[in-house]
Structure 1
Amino acid sequence: MEPVSRRSLLRGGLATAALAATGLPVLSGCSNTTAGTSNAKTTQKSAAALLPTYRKYAQVKPDLVGTDLILDGFLSYPDKPVRAIEETPGDGKTVTFMTNIPGAIPPTEDRNSFWQTLNKRIGSPLEISMASNDEYPEKFATRIAGDDLPDVINIPPATAQLPGLLQAKCQDLTEHLAGDAVLKYPFLANLPAEAWKGCIYNGAIWGIPIPRGMARTALPLYREDLLAAKGIKDPAPSNFQEFLDLCKELTDAKSRRWAWASAPTNYVKQMLDIPYLWKQEGGKFTSANESEQMKTALESVRKLVAAGVVNPDAFGSGASQQKQWFNGGIVCFVLDSFVAWNQFYADNTAGDAFAVNMLDVPGFDGGEGTPWLGLALNNITAFNKDNEHSTETLLKLADWMSASFGTEEYLFRKYGLPGSHYTMQGSDPIPSRTGVTETGIGLQYFGDAPMALYLAGKPDVVRKQYAIQQKITPRLIKDASYGLYSDTKDRKSGQIDGVLNDLATQIILGRKPVSDWDEGVKVWLSNGGEAIRGELEKSYAEAAKNAGTK
């Protein structure tokens, strides 16, 4: 995914207004692990006490075995996919679902053979209200304001006043999923604990996580074929200066080729051991913005821009345009994730020579940098409190949607029907254009399995992905604010972060001095950053207290 646009919903304005319009409870400083406004049966239960039992699905054996962080790798699709769920999960009644769609809007059900077959297989007609990534925030907020929510709802994790929305409008799933109760749904039990932490608020489980984690970890992807053409194999700069030299070597502005699609600010931050959003020590939180190394990072990125190694159109372009530059060979590097790595092959326009790899992060002055672990979940799938289905039916559907890689259910869900939507190359499904179009109905946001490392017909790509994950895993750092709730963060971070990010851009472009950063951070703190810190610290303390008394 695929993230929903931050333009409106994730900046809090539309969703906050919608909550107010419906009279939903507007909570302040409410921890996702505290019981302040929860019902009696979940009072004083910590997130740790509520976590569903993790049981990895073991019926499909990977070629490259993963860990709790490293993704399982498959060099080919299992030639005899396991039929994991014999029972039809639906109840025969229409299930309504609202979601965003990262690609083009697919054909409607009456013109979509995949969708029609899906309805038969799950035993309930699935009625999907979908919108593009950019349009979804406004549509979501409008449906909240109109009290017009479907049975199943794709809720972005940064939704403003999220605990209030979940408690007022969504089913409490605690008794169905907490602890060993989840084992009734083996593919929900297969979801990692870190993802579930983002679904627990006020002592209750309010939804199903759509897991990401390592899949969303972003480092420089590079065009291995373009570097090889210049005699560069296995690039491994050992510090920032060597990285800058490599970028200069790869840039030829006269031939319209640059090293970078955008200024790699976050990559340089990782060289300098700057926290991923928030750092926690002894219950005290520090924003990455406050790091002593931030000015060094900005000054260093300004050197990259001044050296001409970043496409000059980068600051007026979006992610889609930058991906096109990468596929077209206009740039050699783009900062992106393992999900994007596979997508670049799907979108490849360069022919058989096209090859992608990922660059590790060195320490700024030598040694090793600290890569940032991607956010554990993509979205929360919640059930409307007023839907007409049993909770068990909707959980069975979510479980079916979450069936693991290597199962027959996964093969159908992701690829469709053989002949119509894909052809077989050995045991690997190769999607057709019709398959890509018709299967893109957003099922991955109803329920999804942890990502597996796999690319049909390209086992070498899987080996590269597995190798870099093994290399970076011991050094990964997480956002310390994940799983903690700050009302100010959800309402104001889009606005105050936007102002500070604009200042960073002006510094990087050489239009303002690096010394302006200090004053910018002071303003950021006074306009909401300090309040966010206080709420995170309070939430962390409450979580620690509850964990000690569970």
Structure 2
Amino acid sequence: MPVSRRTFLGGGLAAAAVAVTGTPLLAGCASDKKNTAAANAAVKLPTYTKYGQIKPDLPGTDVVLDGFLKYPANPVKAIADAPGDGKPITFMTNIPGAIPPAADKNQFWQELNKRLGSELQISMASNDEYKDKFATRIAGGDLPDILNIPPDTPQIPGLVKSKCMDLTEHLSGDAISKYPFLANIPTEFWKGCVFNGAIYGVPVPRGMSRTSLALYREDLLAAKGIKDPAPKNFQEFFDLAKEMTAAKQNKWAWTRVPMSTIRMMLGIPNVWKEEGGKFTSMYEHEAQEQALEAGRKMVAAGVINPDAFNDKASARKQWFNGGIAAFDYDSFVAWNQYYNDNSAGDAFAVNMLDVPGFDGGEGKPWMGSALNNVTAFSKSSTHSAETLLKVANWMAAPFGTEEYLFRKYGVAGRHYTLQGTDPVPTKVGTVETGIGLQYISDSTLALYWAGKPDVPQKQHAIQEKVAKRLVYDASYGLYSDTASKKQTQLAKTMTDLEGQIVQGKKPVSDWKAAMQNWKSSGGDKMRSEFEQALSDTAGK
């Protein structure tokens, strides 16, 4: 099972709430009856209007992201007035990096507050701790003005109905034109913000930027004489891993077992597949045992870092950056993050493998999950919905604008230096700017890396290669109450078994019984709820 960040963040919310309060997360605000598929499908989604002022060097499509070889020389100042209302605005979020200096010691944050026209007070937690903090705040009823809700939070419809503003009148159809950079977020991403027959939030879009494949250290492979690796089947993929492993020198091919890659080689569904109105889970696919056998073979051959089963994602990133591992399964967002964290100097180079068919031909890559989070506004906020939407709109100003340049890079001289027209972050810049603004709102990712035009070129090339073959999760935009309550725990059970099987601690044959148990413990109910939801939206 691919543990995406959204699955991971959603992971312990219900358990955390029980630990904190002794009750499930949303006891007393269970899903409202009006959260029907038909009611949600009837909502007029925001009209998509692409912002056309900035022309990409590498034009994208509705799937492939726009690429830029350098930052535009004269960034457009896209928003004339400060969006805030002069009063402090509170926000709660996770952040992927280290906790940055507090506002009184952080010049980026101070300048941000000036530009917003309101002091932004941010309560932040690491990715690992956010689920507990979120559950505690919800249980205590102590909500900030702006709330980062992970998509896998149990029973979101009940949560947003009882705690958050209904934004439909402000965002539905052409009403969104008042917020041009929210209108610049494609319609598809808004489907994940509709509950109880209403729009309850702003999407933080991912999709293609979250699509994950095998990332590799191009410089490490080149040092072994391997240029443009393109394994044509699983055997060649496995042979390449063996070639990049030297256990005595503390060097392994992989940071973890590339189970998702193997599953894509075998055409296993991306979470849920739908055909003729019938849903099938990835767990039920006939090739699962073959995939597990292949993963076990890789572990037995010693091509996976032996600490892979004990350490967190942050450790894997350090192995890849430090050259202890040459391959990592991750996304386009992570690709950029690797350059940000690069400790190997100028030679450091990352690229991505296409996924072949297991026995040849082409594999079926999975489209990344659509949303990082839904940003909702507390009903008890003293700010108007318009003010909070203006702040979200400011945060969504796209690549090439002055607002984006400041939001991502800070102030010239302190937070970045210009290399031509490219902003190159300073150490202070990297530390001070990491305050989680991208989780209030954001534009879709632009393919770009300051001073390294080869990065967006490589990213654009692989996206163009896989775009037509991408496999989507058929359950996106459909709500299943059973999935909301049980999916995380059931997925964990299957992932734990997968780990035992690939390490050789349990036989592959155990998968079948576990899959039957998954079905009877909620899987079949999820399936029927998704099928019903799809049927209810037919023709809408």
Considering the TM-score relative to the shorter chain, is it more than 0.5?
yes
User: 1:495 — aligned with what?
Assistant: 489
- 1:165-176 residue pairs with structure 2 within 5 A? 165-176=159-170
Output one character per residue of 1:402-440: Cα deviation in whole Å (capped at 9) or x when no partner: 000000000001111111111111101111111111111
- 1:336-485 residue pairs with structure 2 within 5 A? 336-485=330-479
User: 2:228 — aligned with what?
Assistant: 234
4+ residue runs over 3 A deviation: 2-11, 14-24, 28-35
Q: Which amino acid aligns with 1:26?
A: A
Report if aligned partners of 1:32, 1:163 keep a CA contact under 8 Å in 2: no
User: 2:327 — aligned with what?
Assistant: 333
Whole-angstrom distance in 2 between the partners of 1:273 and 1:293: 8
Q: Which amino acid aligns with 1:517?
A: W
Q: Which amino acid aligns with 1:72?
A: D
Choose the corresponding residue for 1:55, options 49, 58, 63: 49
Residues 1:107 and 1:494: Cα distance change in structure 2 (over 3 Å)? same
Output one character per residue of 1:58-89: Cα deviation in whole Å (capped at 9) or x when no partner: 11111000111111100010010000000221
Report if aligned partners of 2:34, 2:197 keep a CA contact under 8 Å in 1: no
Report if aligned partners of 1:31, 1:201 keep a CA contact under 8 Å in 2: yes
Output one character per residue of 1:461-502: Cα deviation in whole Å (capped at 9) or x when no partner: 110000000000000011111111112212222222212112
Whole-angstrom distance in 2 between the partners of 1:7 and 1:346: 23
User: 1:3 — aligned with what?
Assistant: 5
User: 1:38 — aligned with what?
Assistant: none
User: 1:121 — aligned with what?
Assistant: 115
User: 1:46 — aligned with what?
Assistant: 41
Residues 1:525 and 1:23: Cα distance change in structure 2 (over 3 Å)? closer
Report if aligned partners of 2:35, 2:197 keep a CA contact under 8 Å in 1: no
User: 1:311 — aligned with what?
Assistant: 305
Whole-angstrom distance in 1 between the partners of 2:86 and 2:507: 64
Report if aligned partners of 1:213, 1:376 keep a CA contact under 8 Å in 2: yes
Deviation at 1:151, TM superposition (A): 1.0
Report if aligned partners of 2:84, 2:390 keep a CA contact under 8 Å in 1: yes
Output one character per residue of 1:348-368: Cα deviation in whole Å (capped at 9) or x when no partner: 111211111000000011110
Report if aligned partners of 2:150, 2:374 keep a CA contact under 8 Å in 1: yes
Report if aligned partners of 1:272, 1:363 keep a CA contact under 8 Å in 2: yes
Corresponding residue SS for 1:12? helix
- 1:32-431 residue pairs with structure 2 within 5 A? 33-35=37-39, 46=41, 49-431=43-425
Report if aligned partners of 1:32, 1:200 keep a CA contact under 8 Å in 2: no
Choose the corresponding residue for 1:25, options 25, 29, 43: 29
Report if aligned partners of 1:11, 1:492 keep a CA contact under 8 Å in 2: no
Whole-angstrom distance in 2 between the partners of 1:6 and 1:361: 24
Report if aligned partners of 1:33, 1:200 keep a CA contact under 8 Å in 2: no
Q: Greater shift after overlay, 415-424 or 500-509?
A: 500-509
TM-score under structure 1 length normalisation: 0.94
Deviation at 1:153, TM superposition (A): 0.7
Residues 1:334 and 1:22: Cα distance change in structure 2 (over 3 Å)? closer
Residues 1:292 and 1:476: Cα distance change in structure 2 (over 3 Å)? same
Whole-angstrom distance in 2 between the partners of 1:318 and 1:77: 34
Corresponding residue SS for 2:328? strand
Deviation at 1:6, TM superposition (A): 3.3
Deviation at 1:32, TM superposition (A): 6.2
Residues 1:518 and 1:232: Cα distance change in structure 2 (over 3 Å)? same
Residues 1:383 and 1:475: Cα distance change in structure 2 (over 3 Å)? same
Residues 1:33 and 1:21: Cα distance change in structure 2 (over 3 Å)? closer
Residues 1:505 and 1:397: Cα distance change in structure 2 (over 3 Å)? same
Q: Which amino acid aligns with 2:8?
A: R
Q: Which amino acid aligns with 2:477?
A: G
Corresponding residue SS for 1:361? coil
Whole-angstrom distance in 1 between the partners of 2:215 and 2:237: 14
Corresponding residue SS for 2:538? helix
Report if aligned partners of 1:5, 1:134 keep a CA contact under 8 Å in 2: no
Report if aligned partners of 2:215, 2:350 keep a CA contact under 8 Å in 1: yes
Report if aligned partners of 2:46, 2:190 keep a CA contact under 8 Å in 1: yes
Deviation at 1:102, TM superposition (A): 1.4
Report if aligned partners of 1:213, 1:377 keep a CA contact under 8 Å in 2: yes
Output one character per residue of 1:277-298: Cα deviation in whole Å (capped at 9) or x when no partner: 1111121111000000101101
Deviation at 1:30, TM superposition (A): 7.4
Whole-angstrom distance in 2 between the partners of 1:247 and 1:130: 39
Deviation at 1:231, TM superposition (A): 1.1
Deviation at 1:8, TM superposition (A): 7.1
Report if aligned partners of 1:250, 1:258 keep a CA contact under 8 Å in 2: yes
Deviation at 1:34, TM superposition (A): 3.7
Whole-angstrom distance in 1 between the partners of 2:495 and 2:84: 47
Query: Identity over aligned residues, as a percent?
Result: 62
Whole-angstrom distance in 2 between the partners of 1:448 and 1:531: 35
Whole-angstrom distance in 2 between the partners of 1:319 and 1:91: 39
Whole-angstrom distance in 2 between the partners of 1:181 and 1:426: 40
Whole-angstrom distance in 2 between the partners of 1:206 and 1:90: 21
Residues 1:515 and 1:22: Cα distance change in structure 2 (over 3 Å)? closer
Residues 1:8 and 1:86: Cα distance change in structure 2 (over 3 Å)? closer
Residues 1:32 and 1:466: Cα distance change in structure 2 (over 3 Å)? farther
Residues 1:214 and 1:29: Cα distance change in structure 2 (over 3 Å)? farther
Q: Greater shift after overlay, 11-20 or 489-498?
A: 11-20
Whole-angstrom distance in 2 between the partners of 1:515 and 1:407: 55
User: 1:42 — aligned with what?
Assistant: none
Corresponding residue SS for 2:306? coil
Count of matched residue pairs = 535
User: 1:527 — aligned with what?
Assistant: 521
